[in-house]
Amino acid sequence: MKALSDTRWSSRHDCVKSVLHNYSALLKSLEQISESCEVKSDVRAAAKGHLSMIAESKIVFFLCLWEKVLGIANVVSMYLQKSEIDLNQAGVLVQELIKKV
Range of the domain at 29: 9-100
- pLDDT greater at residue 3 or residue 31: 31
Considering its fold, how many domains does the chain have in total? 1
In a domain, 1, yes or no: no
Whole-angstrom CA distances from 43 to 2, 18, 66, 86 are 20, 22, 28, 50
Distance from C-alpha of 72 to C-alpha of 2, rounded to nearest angstrom: 19
* Three-state SS at 77: helix
> Per residue in 18-76, pLDDT tens?
999 999 999 999 999 999 999 999 999 999 999 999 988 899 999 999 998 888 888 88
User: Nearest CA to 100 among 70, 72, 62, 76?
Assistant: 72
Does 64 fall in a domain? yes
